[in-house]
Amino acid sequence: MSGWARFWAVDLHVHTPASQDVNEGLYGTADAADVVSAAVSAGLDAIAITDHNTSEWCDAVGAAAAETDLVVLPGVEISTNEGHLLAIWEQGTKSKVIDEVLVKLGIGGAEQGKLDIAANVGFADAARVVSEADGIAIAAHIDRPRGLLKLQVAAHVKSILLEECLAAVEIVDFATVKTLEQKLGDKRLAACVRGSDMTPDGGSYHCLGAIGHRRTWIKAAVPDLVGIRHALQDPELRIRLKEPPEATHPRIESVEITGGFLDRQKVLFSPDLSCLLGGTGAGKSLVLEAIRYVLCQEVDASSFPKIAQEVDSRMRNTLSDSSVVRLTIRSGGQQYRLERAVDQRASMVYQEVDGDWIEVSDDPQLLMPVSAFSQGEVLEASREPVGRMSLIDAGLDLTTFNDGEEELRGKLQENAKQIVRQRKKIESLRQAASREGDLAERVRELSALFDTELVKQQEGWKSEASTLKALFEWLPVPSDIDVDLEAEPVRGDVESNSDLFQEVASILAELSTRVGRNVTQIRKAIETAIGGLKDVDRRWKERNVEFVAALDQKLSELGDGTSLITLRTQLGTFQEQLVDARRKKTELSGQAEPRLKELQETREQLLGKLQAIRDERRQLRRDRVAALNKKMSGIVKLDVSQHPDSSSFREALDVLKTGSRVREDVLSAIATSIHPFRFVRCLLAGDTGALVDDGKGVDAASIARLFANIDDRNLWLQLLEAQSCSMPDQLSIKFKRPEDGHYVPVEQLAHGQKCTAVLVVLLADGTSPVIVDQPEDALHAPWIEAYLVERLRSLRGDRQYIFATRSPGIVVGADAEQIVTMKASAGRGEIEATGSLERHDLNKLTLYHLEGGPRAFRRRSEKLQVSVEAD
């Protein structure tokens, strides 16, 4: 039963037929083995045998439990001259030890077991004798007859309750807890337990069936006296009077590494708080990074490039080419095993199904998201308002919003390219159309030299030439016609559904074939049309040659025919250009400008959708922040700013300003005071005046130079792309200073204080595992106990925490359920020990790793004790 600390069901007040008030007919047995069986059947993990003033049955019940997992603690219920006191010893303690204590208390051998006798001392003195004999003393049923609270002098009751040798008090009524809190105030947190006393509801007798009727849940590695004693010292975390709910939150159960520095090392984790201890280079960080590696949630290189590089280098130095990391996790009530080899792009995922491991396609990042921080990551997150947002997003599903924004930005980029091409086309059409008046005048002047009918005929031929040319431009290139419907292979994972997926494959294959056939037919149809048009064009050109020849022959018969032919040629050129100018004017007003307007309207719709997604995501974050602020009890205040981060917009302005001589401060003012949507709209419309704001440092001359630079260098595409640049939300954090209670922006704090604030946010709520590597390296030491430790203590039971640490506050103050000590020798790291703090070996190793050993701890304690006593 050894391992990390967990809750065990115990009954510390069990009577046997050795108690003289037992009615043999009602009790139900005279066999010690039946007591053990009844306890096991009741789901108890440990019992204490506490008969009235006797240890007679302790050895027998202990022997009867030898072949079971039940822990039997020998003890006695002592009748002091003030009331009843439970005294309990370690498993295996002989009854002779208990008898000697009874004698010291004035209950000699001949008197032992009698109900009408009492010790010659009261609660406090009896408890002191029990403690000196290595037992623990618990005031029995304090809210019932012969209980401590029935004493008449309140001050005396309080003094007894404050006795250190009184380990706990046994209560019957839950309301008694409040009574004790009112009596003791902040002087002591009394450990309260409940025991059955083997008394059923409404009964005044002991019986076997009542065992475990009232019970206590204690958290320990083993429910022996060592574990119980430790639990009673920290009742807030380790004692429960009602059954604790079963852990349902996602958790990492173990990690195992083969190959490299930690070859064949396997670390088991508690569902609650696990702490890795050890010297520098022992492999603590490697364990945490291995977890992140197999979950495909390594350090974000885009946000923290230096840290990512350091971690990657460390991983490569400590893992071999053949290393494999295996992780066992529990998520959604199911157990999974993940494996990832070095340099493998993704992990293999297996699910436990009826004792077998079945490969599944789950994404590790979705299956087990974690809130993880490597060394230095906490500090970096505290510095960047955008980076901090991950603390908020960890409790949200923003996939739809993020995917939607990415899709819209992609559409906006494509739209920008179309708009730039359309603007360029419109500019070309306008230039061509602007020549219409001049060309019409030239045609009119030359036409006057010729017969009107001749001019009309030639104008008709020129118009037809333009029409045929436009048709060739209109037809698409056959090779550009394509529809790719080649489907990915599909298969069913359930054997009985294989026929359905074969049918799916056939349907998709038929679709692909039919589409391919139609595409081929369309290409052939276009090729046929192009061929037909070419033939028409060839015959038209033959006729045009005949017309020109006949026309020139007619002109040559007139006087000065050569000059007329030259003029006719000029007229034809001008007529052709005029037809082209008129066609482009028509295209400009009828097609190009409406198409640009359509593209601009589409862009505005896309921008509206993009803004809606960003607003909805921001509101979701603000709602999340409001919930977190309530849970942080005023320690930290969060807010999602209405003004997103403009860094990307500022970078885009750097591209647009090159060569413009616009000052950097003006660009920064534009980035922070003008939204990119509005900025681009105004410049596209040429409305530069609408952007001027002298009060914010945006002057007219700078805007004009920037606009001219964009136009001169043809940076319209870059301008449009700036409009849809990333605008991440920013998280502001304010920390309540303990010295004056004022809230201070995190930017004004020292870096250790910043990190403390970040971790307070991280621990505020959520169910995903928290993994932090040596947070104390970046924390403000005085605040670790005040904020971090208290948060860890108050948030226990619904989230898993894994720390690599050297902080006594986190390990001891927060009371880690699982401690893993590590050491390194001969170029190899290994697990030194694992377990809970109350076990002697773990306690000793923890003292060494955290405090430098007993001597160093004693020296510090002696020198600082005066301050502790004065507090």
Entry field: residues in the chain: 871
Q: Is residue 413 part of a domain?
A: yes
- Type of residue found at 211: I
Are 151 and 230 in a shared domain? Answer: yes
- Asked if residue 219 has pLDDT above 70, the reply is yes
Band of residue 277 on the pLDDT scale cut at 50, 70, 90 = very high
Structural domain span for residue 654: 647-727
Are 261 and 117 in a shared domain? Answer: no
Mean pLDDT over each residue of the chain, to the nearest integer:
90
Are 124 and 17 in a shared domain? Answer: yes
d(C-alpha 132, C-alpha 126), whole Å: 10
Q: Which pLDDT score, from 0 to 100, does residue 446 have? A: 79
Are 706 and 684 in a shared domain? Answer: yes
Over residues 602-621, the mean pLDDT reads 96
Band of residue 393 on the pLDDT scale cut at 50, 70, 90 = confident
Closest CA to 748 of 760, 737, 759: 737
Are 417 and 354 in a shared domain? Answer: no
- 152: CATH: 3.20.20.140
Q: Summarize pLDDT for 471-501 with one digit per residue, the tens.
A: 888 888 888 777 776 666 777 777 778 888 8
Q: Which pLDDT score, from 0 to 100, does residue 545 have? A: 86
Are 512 and 411 in a shared domain? Answer: yes
Q: Is residue 846 part of a domain?
A: yes
Residue 605: which region, alpha, beta or left (left: phi > 0; alpha: psi -120 to 50)?
Answer: alpha
Q: Which pLDDT score, from 0 to 100, does residue 603 have? A: 96
Q: Which pLDDT score, from 0 to 100, does residue 1 have? A: 47
Are 232 and 261 in a shared domain? Answer: no
Residue 569: which region, alpha, beta or left (left: phi > 0; alpha: psi -120 to 50)?
Answer: alpha
Are 436 and 349 in a shared domain? Answer: no
Give the domain-ending residue among 216, 240, 264: 240
Q: Is residue 342 part of a domain?
A: yes
Q: Which pLDDT score, from 0 to 100, does residue 558 have? A: 62
d(C-alpha 251, C-alpha 235), whole Å: 25
- 344: CATH: 3.40.50.300
Band of residue 557 on the pLDDT scale cut at 50, 70, 90 = low
Higher per-residue confidence, 125 vs 388: 125
Phi first, then psi: what are they for 763, rounded to 5°? -90, 0
Q: Which pLDDT score, from 0 to 100, does residue 871 have? A: 62
Q: For the chain, how big is the Rg over CA atoms in Å?
A: 43
d(C-alpha 60, C-alpha 72), whole Å: 10
Looking up tokens 């053990």, which residue turns up?
Answer: 36
Over residues 374-390, the mean pLDDT reads 75
- Asked if residue 302 has pLDDT above 80, the reply is no
Q: Which pLDDT score, from 0 to 100, does residue 465 have? A: 83
Are 441 and 544 in a shared domain? Answer: yes
Q: Is residue 161 part of a domain?
A: yes
Check if the beta carbon of residue 323 is closer than 8 Å to that of residue 258.
Answer: yes
Are 261 and 211 in a shared domain? Answer: no
Q: Which pLDDT score, from 0 to 100, does residue 212 have? A: 96
Give the domain-ending residue among 727, 760, 783: 727
User: Percent of the chain scored above 90 by pLDDT?
Assistant: 60
Q: How many structural domains is the chain composed of?
A: 4
d(C-alpha 738, C-alpha 522), whole Å: 77
Q: Is residue 376 part of a domain?
A: no
Q: Summarize pLDDT for 498-514 with one digit per residue, the tens.
A: 888 888 888 888 888 88
- Asked if residue 254 has pLDDT above 90, the reply is yes
Phi first, then psi: what are they for 28, rounded to 5°? 115, -5
- Asked if residue 781 has pLDDT above 80, the reply is no
Q: Is residue 43 part of a domain?
A: yes
Over residues 806-829, the mean pLDDT reads 92
Q: Which pLDDT score, from 0 to 100, does residue 293 have? A: 95
Band of residue 454 on the pLDDT scale cut at 50, 70, 90 = low
Are 702 and 795 in a shared domain? Answer: no
- Asked if residue 169 has pLDDT above 50, the reply is yes
Q: Is residue 196 part of a domain?
A: yes
Q: Is residue 191 part of a domain?
A: yes
Q: Which pLDDT score, from 0 to 100, does residue 778 have? A: 64
Band of residue 623 on the pLDDT scale cut at 50, 70, 90 = very high
Cα–Cα distance list, 658 to 9, 468, 476, 702, 707 (Å): 74, 45, 39, 13, 12
Over residues 706-728, the mean pLDDT reads 94
Cα–Cα distance list, 246 to 2, 3, 486 (Å): 19, 18, 49
Q: Which pLDDT score, from 0 to 100, does residue 452 have? A: 61
Check if the beta carbon of residue 417 is closer than 8 Å to that of residue 718.
Answer: no
Are 215 and 260 in a shared domain? Answer: no
Q: Summarize pLDDT for 26-38 with one digit per residue, the tens.
A: 999 999 999 999 9
- Asked if residue 2 has pLDDT above 60, the reply is no
Higher per-residue confidence, 380 vs 86: 86
Q: Which pLDDT score, from 0 to 100, does residue 38 have? A: 97
